[in-house]
Amino acid sequence: MNLESIITNPFSFVFWALALLISVTIHEFSHAFAADRLGDPTPRTEGRLTLNPLAHLDPIGTIALLLFRIGWGKPVPIDQFNFRNPRRDAAIVSLAGPLSNIVVAIILSILIRLPFFQIPLLIAFFYTLIIISIGLAIFNLLPIPPLDGSHIFLGLLSPRVAAEWEQALSQYGILILIFILFPFFGNQPLVNIIVLPIINFILGLLLPGASL
């Protein structure tokens, strides 16, 4: 089964919607779980330490996922002052979301090779879930607020340099995000040029012949 059969399949929309719910939920729950384990009760008190998809969907991020196959969930609130090492632990919490999507994609890519899972509809759904999981992970690793990559990037810098970058990113992050999401100067948005080669490379490893 290839991607063309998934897109043209009458179950395609249901697959994409369900896979989106699962991917975003796992992503945001992983943020909340990591923060909780590192000592910050904020996600738990805000009702985000749950696998209920309704707690994690962001309207704009969900629309972006449906339209562009890349997007984000509702940011998980954290209080860095509850961490033992605020900058390091905040970066770990940010990394937990994309990493969870990649782990899920790897597990599913193994399962679809097992004889027990050779059911066409199940394989089609797993393909869809893998594609959305990888797209969600790689897109969110971009170092642009409010994406996870911005927090990971700042966590790798020295405190002084991080403060300078954080100020600049907080001022222009949303504008940069809008600029790369919409095709202002061509047939495709700039984000496709940036992340699709990476996504397709990973998909090629997990699902030979697959691409976005």
Report pLDDT digits (tens) over 21-34: 899 999 999 999 99
Q: Are 203 and 211 in contact (CB under 8 A)?
A: yes
* Cα angle value 88/90/93 (rounded, 5°): 110
Tokens linked to 89: 């632990």
Classify each residue of 104-137 as buried b or exposed e, where b means 16 or more C-beta atoms within 10 Å of its C-beta: bbbebbeebeeeeeeeeeebbbbbbbbbbbbbbb
Provide the annotated active-site residues.
Answer: 28
Share of the chain above pLDDT 90, in %: 44
pLDDT at residue 1, rounded to an integer = 42
Q: Report the number of secondary-structure helices (H) and strands (E) in the chain.
A: 9, 0
Cα–Cα distances (Å) from 69 to 40, 100, 154, 162, 203, in that order, read: 31, 18, 26, 31, 14
Residues 36-47 have pLDDT tens digits of 999 999 999 999
> Does residue 140 or residue 187 have the better pLDDT?
140
Considering only 7-11, 80-84, 112-116, 123-127, which range has the smallest mean pLDDT? 7-11
